[in-house]
């Protein structure tokens, strides 16, 4: 049997090939379906009177789907002929027919008619009936209209629920969140939790940033962690919060928020400590900040679970900050830096889709007929918002540029193979006793060994400390020799920075 639910008007046989609609008596299913096709062809040709008569011939058929399809076609013809009351009566009759695959269409059409007559409460009820029967592919549009009508009726709670269902019905899988989780876990386990070449390359080494300008560490710090527990805490938090933020902003803006917050957390850590840092907490705190501020300012449409989680974020942030300030070894500066950057981005960037604050869509022409076309509030002020984002990035750069840490750890040298502290502060030049056999510089400035060796830290590579001890002309009769030594112990090996590691 041909599908009467097909709504397209093209591709049907020529009218002359259809049965005569004037024939009296019951119609079997095949004849009724052919008449529906004839009505579609006539409607496509704008012959609304003849099309209405053809559809009317099928009304009352024993097949509920054919009966409903005929009523829908008849209602459309009456509407095109400016007979709105007759069209509404046909749509209402279709909603009262036995349930079938077209019933939701009848409720949706009736809802649109209620909107045109300014019966918003009746329209909302009809759209809810349609939503209970419509396929999944139609839910986003229907729930959006329910949300808009609820908003117009002053029912913010109902609007929030409807917009939440809209978001749930159209929300894609958070593939980028899962990708970040997988990449971070793989790199962390590959680098390990103790010193390794990969860990040394990726961690937030403030000395390498200051002297060697290795600014990629602002971001790569989020890929390595100090322990398995550290990794699990951060990845669990990302697994919970990431899908919500990605759904609100889309994958690419979500990635931008994550990276900017990671950089902001690293900048805050760089400005306040000389210790190494590892971890993605700055980025994760940034996501928390973005969500909590966006929820307060823009009131995005969230699912119930997301809404419940969002209500607890403030408490979770407070607990974590208290722990961070109370327990040594936690880089709370990175937490605060990421949190503030995320809060700024949550304020500046409007979530995509429906919101209760600054954006809710009027989904079609029947809605626009009540109060005119709806302007997109995202378009107005967009340059100002993105200017704010650029200013935030500028602040991060300024923090890095204006707060080079004064690296003044001890200067170490070897006496009989044992490291000994020479001075707590490295000045422009320090004289080293002749008995010194090798030297490690842990600080910046210029260190001169008597008559023979010179160390210029500013032009040196941190990872090859022995290579920048350069021999000068030894004084006559001097038998002093110096053997460059690139590793002595942790403090000397790590050169200009403290060996303490803090978890971000």
Please state, for a pLDDT cut of 90, what percent of the chain lies above it. Answer: 34
Identify the CA nearest to 491 among candidates 212, 276, 330, 329.
Answer: 276
Of the listed ranges 83-97, 227-241, 294-308, the one predicted with least confidence: 294-308
Of the listed ranges 222-236, 424-438, 488-502, the one predicted with least confidence: 488-502
What residues contact residue 311 under an 8 Å CB cut-off, 6+ apart?
none
> Model confidence over 190-243: pLDDT tens digits?
999 887 889 989 998 887 787 778 899 999 999 999 899 999 999 999 999 999
The band of 98, judged by pLDDT with boundaries at 50, 70 and 90, is very high
123/108 Cα distance (integer angstroms): 9
Work out the mean pLDDT of the chain and round it to a whole number.
73
pLDDT at 177: 95
Assess whether pLDDT exceeds 80 at residue 434.
Answer: no
- Write the CA distances from 470 to 421, 448, 453, 460, 484, integer angstroms: 22, 10, 6, 11, 9
Alpha carbon 59 to its chain's center: 51
Assess whether pLDDT exceeds 90 at residue 72.
Answer: yes
Q: Hey, how many other C-beta atoms are within 10 angstroms of the C-beta on 401?
A: 9
Alpha carbon 22 to its chain's center: 61
pLDDT at 330: 82
347/298 Cα distance (integer angstroms): 8
Assess whether pLDDT exceeds 90 at residue 469.
Answer: no
Question: What is the DSSP annotation of 106-168?
Answer: HHHHHHHHHHHTT-HHHHHHHHHHHHHHS-HHHHHHHHHHHHHHHHHTT-HHHHHHHHHHHHH
> Model confidence over 240-267: pLDDT tens digits?
999 999 988 889 999 999 999 999 999 9
> Model confidence over 266-284: pLDDT tens digits?
999 998 887 788 999 999 9
* Beta strands per DSSP E along 209-314: 276-278
pLDDT at 456: 40
pLDDT at 422: 43
Identify the CA nearest to 413 among candidates 484, 473, 500.
Answer: 484
CB-CB contact of 86 with 119 (8 Å) = no
The better pLDDT of the pair 329, 384 is held by 384
Instruction: Name the residues annotated as catalytic.
Output: 281, 335
Assess whether pLDDT exceeds 50 at residue 395.
Answer: yes
- Write the CA distances from 344 to 10, 74, 246, 385, integer angstroms: 52, 55, 17, 10
Alpha carbon 177 to its chain's center: 8
pLDDT at 350: 87
Of the listed ranges 20-24, 227-231, 384-388, 478-482, the one predicted with least confidence: 478-482
CB-CB contact of 496 with 443 (8 Å) = yes
Question: What is the DSSP annotation of 411-442?
Answer: EEEEETTEEEEEESS--S--B--TT---EE--
Output the six-digit token pair for 337: 């830096």
Q: What domains, with CATH codes, occur in the chain?
A: 15-170 (1.25.40.10), 175-402 (1.20.1540.10), 411-503 (no CATH)
pLDDT at 354: 52
CB-CB contact of 344 with 395 (8 Å) = no
Identify the burial level of 43 via C-beta atoms within 10 angstroms of its C-beta, where 0-12 means exposed, 13-18 middle and 19 or more buried.
Answer: buried
What residues contact residue 352 under an 8 Å CB cut-off, 6+ apart?
248, 249, 250, 253
- Global pTM reads 0.55
The band of 164, judged by pLDDT with boundaries at 50, 70 and 90, is low
Average pLDDT, stretch 363-367? 39
Of the listed ranges 120-124, 343-347, 362-366, 376-380, the one predicted with least confidence: 362-366
Assess whether pLDDT exceeds 50 at residue 384.
Answer: yes
Assess whether pLDDT exceeds 60 at residue 423.
Answer: no
């Amino acid at each position: 049997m041909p599908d009467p639910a097909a709504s397209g008007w093209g591709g049907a046989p020529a009218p002359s090939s259809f049965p005569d609609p004037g024939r009296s008596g019951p119609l079997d299913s095949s004849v009724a379906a052919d008449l529906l096709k004839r009505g579609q062809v006539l409607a496509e040709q704008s012959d609304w009177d003849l099309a209405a008569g053809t559809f009317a011939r099928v009304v009352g058929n024993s097949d509920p789907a054919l009966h409903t399809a005929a009523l829908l076609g008849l209602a459309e013809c009456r509407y095109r002929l400016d007979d709105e009351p007759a069209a509404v009566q046909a749509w209402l009759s279709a909603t009262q027919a036995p349930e079938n695959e077209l019933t939701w269409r009848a409720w949706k059409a009736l809802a649109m008619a209620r909107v045109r007559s300014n019966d918003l409460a009746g329209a909302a009820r009809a759209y809810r009936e349609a939503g209970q029967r419509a396929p999944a592919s139609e839910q986003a549009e229907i729930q959006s209209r329910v949300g808009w009508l609820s908003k117009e009726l002053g029912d913010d709670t109902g609007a929030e629920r409807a917009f939440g269902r809209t978001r749930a019905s159209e929300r894609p899988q958070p593939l980028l969140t899962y990708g970040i989780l997988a990449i971070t876990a793989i790199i962390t386990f590959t680098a390990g939790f103790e010193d390794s070449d990969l860990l040394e390359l990726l961690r937030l080494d403030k000395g390498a940033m200051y002297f060697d300008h290795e600014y990629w560490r602002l971001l790569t710090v989020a890929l390595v962690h100090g322990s398995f527990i550290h990794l699990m805490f951060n990845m669990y938090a990302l697994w919970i919060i990431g899908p919500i933020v990605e759904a609100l902003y889309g994958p690419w803006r979500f990635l931008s928020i994550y990276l900017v917050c990671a950089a902001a957390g690293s900048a805050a850590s760089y400005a306040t400590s000389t210790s190494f840092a590892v971890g993605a907490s700055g980025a994760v705190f940034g996501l928390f900040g973005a969500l909590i501020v966006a929820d307060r300012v823009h009131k995005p449409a969230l699912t119930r679970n997301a809404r419940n989680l969002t209500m607890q974020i403030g408490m979770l942030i407070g607990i974590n900050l208290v722990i961070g300030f109370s327990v040594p070894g936690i880089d709370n500066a990175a937490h605060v830096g990421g949190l503030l950057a995320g809060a700024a981005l949550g304020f500046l960037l409007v979530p995509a889709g429906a919101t209760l604050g600054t954006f809710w869509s009027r989904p079609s022409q029947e809605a626009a007929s009540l109060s005119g076309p709806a302007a997109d509030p995202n378009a107005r002020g967009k340059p100002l918002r993105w200017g704010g984002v650029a200013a935030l990035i500028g602040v991060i750069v300024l923090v890095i540029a204006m707060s080079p840490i004064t690296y003044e750890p001890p200067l170490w040298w070897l006496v009989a193979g044992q490291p000994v502290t020479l001075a707590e502060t490295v000045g422009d030049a320090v004289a080293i006793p002749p008995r010194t056999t090798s030297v490690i510089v842990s600080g910046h400035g210029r260190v001169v060994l008597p008559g023979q060796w010179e160390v210029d830290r500013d032009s040196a590579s941190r990872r090859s400390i022995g290579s920048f001890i350069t021999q000068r002309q030894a004084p006559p009769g001097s038998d002093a020799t110096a053997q460059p030594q690139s590793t002595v112990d942790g403090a000397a090996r790590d050169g200009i920075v403290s060996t303490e590691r803090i978890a971000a």
